[in-house]
Chains A and B, each alone.
Chain A
Amino acid sequence: MTSMRMTMRGTTMSSRSTLAIEASGLVKTFGRIRAVAGVDLAVPRGAVYGVLGPNGAGKTTTVRMLATLLRPDAGDARVLGHDIVTEADTVRGLVSLTGQLASVDDDLTGRENLVLLGRLLGYTRARAKSRAAELLEAFDLAEAAGRLVKTYSGGMRRRLDIAASIVVTPELMFLDEPTTGLDPRSRNQVWDIVRALVAQGTTVLLTTQYLEEADQLADGIAVIDRGQVIAEGTPAQLKASVGRGALSVRLLDAGQRAAAAELLGRALGAEVRMEHDPAALSVPSADADRAAVAMAELARSGVPIAGFSVGQPSLDEVFLALTGHPAEDETDEEVR
């Protein structure tokens, strides 16, 4: 592994940059829609980099430009040291893409999909077959190898999709919303796979709508909104920039909510939000120490409490803090 990487680096001496992706001012317009409006990215090698944003923020369009599927209208980008427009073919030889729609052929079996890719990447027939068998085994798909992909579950399809991306080990892998629509178990499997990829030295650029996913996997995160990067940093930095999480309280008796709200508002010196649940209320950005004191006071005052928590800021809160508007879908459909 290491030796292969060394030789690959050796053959691309122009790409001594420590960055896997350097993009500046990328722009892509579809008709009147400015899907990407000047994206700058600096993604270090050998790590997971998360691009976080709601539907329609421009994540997929950005990835498609970086993976050489779309030509930018303006700006430029180098992937592993190579220009995505003038050296697109070289870039294609170093990266692989797992698209938002599963990039596998529904009308073929899992095995045939992998053999086809092996052949297209230059393996002999025999090697393509043995490589497919190795991958199916490693991704726990050996039993389903002979079945048509259209009969696969969402999780199996996604695993096959990722296996198809590493028929030849890529230097850099694009994963466009790899867990959207997956059940929690399949999502955890995908997360394990991403961790295994990075442990082997592959750089991963991952787009996601979930702060939790970026938090779990990414070493660095860019938050993208309306086609622009609005914040960048480590997950910890991002969360810190948003402030503390909210104190959420649920009462046993909804009738005492007004009294509880008054008490908490006074104790914490902050505005209290009434939730849809008539027995629940919350205080945004509560300090944990002061929240503990306030809760003790609430208990002493004889208001029975069903439960309470001091949470992490959610993606909604990150968005609200960064943009001043909630993280809602910005267009009806993701611009492809």
Chain B
Amino acid sequence: MSTGSTTDRVSEVRIGAVLASGDRPPRPGGAAAALAFGWRGMLKIKHVPEQLIDVTATPVLFVLMFTFMFGGAIAGSTQEYLQFLLPGIMVMSVLFTTVYSGVALNTDMTKGVVDRFRSLPIPRPAPLVGAVLGDSVRYLLGAVVVLAVGMAIGYRPEAGAAGVAGAVVLVVIFAFGLAWVFTTVGTLMRSPSAVMNAGFMTIFPLTFLSNAFVDPETLPEPLEVVVEANPVSHLVTAVRGLMDGTASAGDVVPVLIAAAALTAVFAPLTMHLYRRRA
């Protein structure tokens, strides 16, 4: 056999030394492991900044297009419509981003690195919880971008900074819950693009058939019933209320319950399917 020249060879001595010093530390808890996976998500944003375009450029376009195209027709003036539209479009932008959590999971599952994660002595849900936690940073970023663009063209939140902060947090919490729906889809579909298609087929009607863009009272009655029942409408109402300073617990609590319910049903489902398929 030919082993090549000595410069080609890795040093057995050095490898022996690193093997000798690889003592096993105490196992990390579930939270520490999930945070490490969250950090992985952050690194991906750093290395593939293009990924951020969907959470930055798209919302900017939405705000500008909807305000200036429909503002006059729907509300009589762009400024008045912007005041109505901005909380809704913030919700829509962030919820669109949740589809990417499912796409990212599906992409991950086709790669060898998942085998590595699954062969580690870590709590089983840690990779998934960490990934969705990492994605929450993107949701936050998307919300902030919409808000900044809105304020640049004249949106004024009446409730001030505290109301805005509350609204953003509420959107991110709901997005965290909804993301589990799309991670479930992500474990079921064969390819990332199939997840993307299924995701947008869901998210488009879910956000458009809500009170984000128009007052439901202007709609034909059967549609009005659908819109009023849509959980996204409740979210938009709560977010609008928080930013206008008129929100009541009755607006906010159902949204939190919906987020908790989505997480309670779809997070375990995702984990079950992930374990079975990956």
* CB contact under 8 A between A137 and B14, given known A101-B111, A103-B113: yes
Residues of A within 8 A of B120 (CB): 92, 117, 120-121
Residue A290 is within 8 A (CB to CB) of chain B in the complex = no
Query: Chain B contact residues (Cβ within 8 angstroms of A): what range?
Result: 35 or more
Partner of A122 from the list B17, B28, B47, B117 (CB cut-off 8 Å) is B28
Query: What does the 1/0 interface line of A8-21 toward B look like (CB < 8 Å)?
Result: 00000000000000
**Residues of A with C-beta under 8 A to B40:** 105, 108, 116
For the complex, what is the distance from the CA of A117 to the CA of B117, rounded to whole Å? Answer: 9
Determine the distance from Cα of A207 to Cα of B21 in the docked complex, in whole angstroms: 27
Q: Does A89 contact B (CB under 8 A)?
A: yes
> A88-135: which residues lie under 8 A (CB-CB) from chain B?
89, 92-93, 95-97, 99-109, 112, 116-117, 119-124, 127, 131, 134-135
Contact B119–A69 (Cβ < 8 Å): yes
Segment among A194-202, A251-259, A294-302, A319-327 that sits at the interface with chain B: A194-202
CA distance A191 to B4 in the complex (A): 12
A33 within 8 A of B: no
| A197 touching B22, Cβ below 8 Å | no
**Interface contact A192-B25, CB-CB below 8 Å:** no
Question: A4 at the A/B interface (Cβ < 8 Å)?
Answer: yes
Give the residue name and chain of the A residue nearest to B26 (CB).
Answer: A122
**Counting chain B CB atoms within 10 Å of each CB, which of A4, A121, A159, A169 scores highest?**
A121
Is B222 part of the contact surface with A, judged by Cβ < 8 Å? no
Within 8 A of A (CB), among B1-55: 1-4, 8-12, 14-28, 32-33, 36-37, 39-40, 43-44, 47-48
Nearest residue, chain B, Cβ from A186: B8
Complex CA–CA separation, A116 to B41 (angstroms) = 11
Q: Given the complex, which residues of B lie within 8 Å of A140, measured CB to CB? A: 10-11
A153 contacts the other chain (CB 8 A): no
A99 near B9 with CB under 8 A, answer no
Residue of A nearest to B110 (CB): A101
Chain A residues within 8 Å of B, Cβ to Cβ: 1, 4, 64, 67-69, 89, 92-93, 95-97, 99-109, 112, 116-117, 119-124, 127, 131, 134-135, 137-140, 148, 159, 164, 166-169, 184-185, 188-189, 191-193, 195-197, 199-200, 202, 212, 216
Which residues of B approach A to under 8 Å, CB–CB? Answer: 1-4, 8-12, 14-28, 32-33, 36-37, 39-40, 43-44, 47-48, 111-113, 115-122, 126
